[in-house]
Structure 1
């Protein structure tokens, strides 16, 4: 009987439960790796309620190290980056205890391969024994910080711009050392190839997927709100700044016109940890739910799902989940880049506030069109967004282990 080879998996946030975008992707990677490898997982736990889930990881892992990360303390610690000239994201996720566990585990278990989820976790892979490191950047985070800076003024604009510049420098070093650097769409991959031409030959695409059996159209899901006028829904972790920005912009720039056109219209913002900026939007026709045990009823019974993200790029899990459930989705133009299916047929793309108003108006006025788009959306997910198909990219990379792509000596950062 052949023993499954060991692999190190480094994740910036515990990958269970898969109840937000990054955890959906990291959990599916974990589950996929566990089919062919003995997985040794190191991660941070940044929400107290997630500690109860650490033992659950044993069913996929041969070894687990989970370390508490207090966001407030980590933010204060990250300020060391200002003194050291590095990206603040690096000291935020830096731990001597986690580094020691990684080094000891790699040497004890004879691990030579690592998969890294989220760029800052690559700082733990400067170990001579590792001859193959795959870094899943997902999106070009440095570019997002630059986008944040463009939407801010004063000192915070400077901080965000600096973070983008310093983080890009780290991302370039990490990608150049890695066997492969993965991104969620070809558009993101192209952005990084232009920013890091020296690592262009290592840049690959591994798209997101969706569990189309779990997220499937079902008339049996309970109605989560009282029957009344039409309902729009947005889903996502509501302490994630791009989600906060999207909801605030939609509430301020789009919703007033829709209310005038559709009396009784309600907008449900569904997701954990809503910030004060999100909670203060709540009113009679804008409901902020906070965490819910199951997001599917909110998707199943929404007339239209909206994803007006202005900063986050790449294929959004929230969009794929709504499409898998056969819903008509209006998605921002940036988030639609790389999304399979024809715009206007499998989903609707909108850029400006006026375009969002027009798109939602049209869908609310035409139930047959909503149904038609929902059917096409479901077929698109079934055809293009299988996790198993996309995660095969990892298998090919880990099986190949080309010596020429082994990480160079030296420490990160």
Structure 2
């Protein structure tokens, strides 16, 4: 089958969750199908990134979106329409014309869209098509409102309303829809949301593989540090959780590892808190750490960072919010907390109890190995696309 994959950004390097999901799905789908990749991009894509995707795609098309046009379009849509700004950011008429030409040129059997950001381009196409919501964007936006600066709150409220409406109506324009977890599916406001197929993420076990190395970091938290839920988590961890840990274990350090750290994250740097910025190989940092912590307070979707840490046999401490999508068993595969007292208590328990540390690590590894593989999850997607 010839599949036209339409993305809101180029799926490499793998510093964002949507890129990670798209990259591995393309890799798996390419084993039995021809992949034509069409990616929007508001920045120049490195040739090395293009070369990486050439391994799996018969054709690669990149459509540049220029910031001046993007910002003008956003202003117009905000003032004179009820359209979602998330969707408007990635849409323009020149790109529409190019995508129409590409569909005529390649004549694919199926269109696969990742995220509602790109659905306007193909929603009226007669070609069979699948939308991957990935996660519930509207609810994720809504959860940011309380912690946002006062001047952003009105815009976030407007966008939340618009996103909910768009998520509702776009479902009816696609033959198939998928999402990353049951938790996110339940947040899509549509009477037919039970028709949305759950397609989880996986782990690249060849990269995230347990190995014995010198431990430089007691605790580690990872992710794209420009992403608001990660910023919020890093600040919460440093300011609310770590002081309680330091009360009994003053020498414990924390590594905050991930691309483009926000100024709020950079400000957390100290003798005991390391902020790395972008790293070439995240697995090196997991291997050099003792305990993984991700007390996520806002956000939606499945936390890839938890899957990676578990795959590398790190004992994990996380929140019930993050675990709703993950589905780990408390006190067996992970330690699940509700507040800063819980998180600090669990961290101290893992520091002081080596048997507990090893047990959570081993059980966590078995849990992800059984439930999260890119081969297995992408097969669900492939069967969905070929069955209709």
Structure 2 equivalent of residue 404 of structure 1: none
Contact 1:42 1:98 in 2 (8 A): no
Structure 2 equivalent of residue 88 of structure 1: 85
CA deviations on 1:254-304 (whole Å, 9 max, x unpaired) are 111112221211111001111111111111111110111111121122121
Structure 1 equivalent of residue 250 of structure 2: 263
Shift of 1:224: 7.6
- Alignment partners' CA distance in 1, 2:225 and 2:46: 17
Give the secondary-structure state (helix, strand or coil) at the position aligned to 2:155: helix
- Alignment partners' CA distance in 2, 1:321 and 1:301: 14
Shift of 1:14: 0.9
Alignment match of 1:216 (pick from 180, 188, 209):
209
Structure 1 equivalent of residue 74 of structure 2: 78
Length, aligned pairs only: 387
Matched, 1:108 2:142: no
Any gaps of 5 or more consecutive residues in structure 1? Answer: 402-413
Structure 2 equivalent of residue 174 of structure 1: 170
- Alignment partners' CA distance in 1, 2:298 and 2:72: 25
Matched, 1:250 2:244: no
Matched, 1:163 2:162: no
- Alignment partners' CA distance in 2, 1:73 and 1:346: 48
Change (3 A) 1:326 1:276: same
- Alignment partners' CA distance in 1, 2:172 and 2:336: 35
Shift of 1:55: 3.2
Contact 2:136 2:301 in 1 (8 A): no
Shift of 1:47: 5.3
CA deviations on 1:293-342 (whole Å, 9 max, x unpaired) are 11112112212111121112332110000000000011111000142442
Shift of 1:67: 3.0
Shift of 1:49: 6.6
Structure 1 equivalent of residue 6 of structure 2: 10
Contact 1:308 1:330 in 2 (8 A): yes
Change (3 A) 1:70 1:243: farther
- Alignment partners' CA distance in 2, 1:399 and 1:298: 39
Any gaps of 5 or more consecutive residues in structure 2? Answer: none
Contact 2:144 2:228 in 1 (8 A): no
Shift of 1:18: 2.4
Alignment match of 2:340 (pick from 350, 353, 356):
353
Shift of 1:35: 1.7
Shift of 1:113: 1.3
Contact 1:142 1:164 in 2 (8 A): yes
Contact 1:136 1:183 in 2 (8 A): yes
CA deviations on 1:354-405 (whole Å, 9 max, x unpaired) are 111111111111122111111111111111111111112212211121xxxx
Matched, 1:184 2:180: yes
Structure 1 equivalent of residue 37 of structure 2: 41
- Alignment partners' CA distance in 2, 1:15 and 1:321: 18
- Alignment partners' CA distance in 1, 2:68 and 2:20: 24
Change (3 A) 1:271 1:218: same
Change (3 A) 1:123 1:154: same
Structure 2 equivalent of residue 390 of structure 1: 377
Q: Is the deviation greater in 235-244 or in 205-214?
A: 205-214
Q: How does 1:370-389 map to 2 (within 5 A)?
A: 370-389=357-376
Contact 1:106 1:112 in 2 (8 A): no
Q: Is the deviation greater in 358-367 or in 35-44?
A: 35-44
- Alignment partners' CA distance in 1, 2:270 and 2:43: 28
Contact 1:314 1:336 in 2 (8 A): no
Give the secondary-structure state (helix, strand or coil) at the position aligned to 2:61: strand
Q: Is the deviation greater in 348-357 or in 60-69?
A: 60-69
Shift of 1:17: 2.4
Shift of 1:189: 1.1
Change (3 A) 1:252 1:235: same
Q: How does 1:230-249 map to 2 (within 5 A)?
A: 231-249=218-236
Shift of 1:100: 2.2
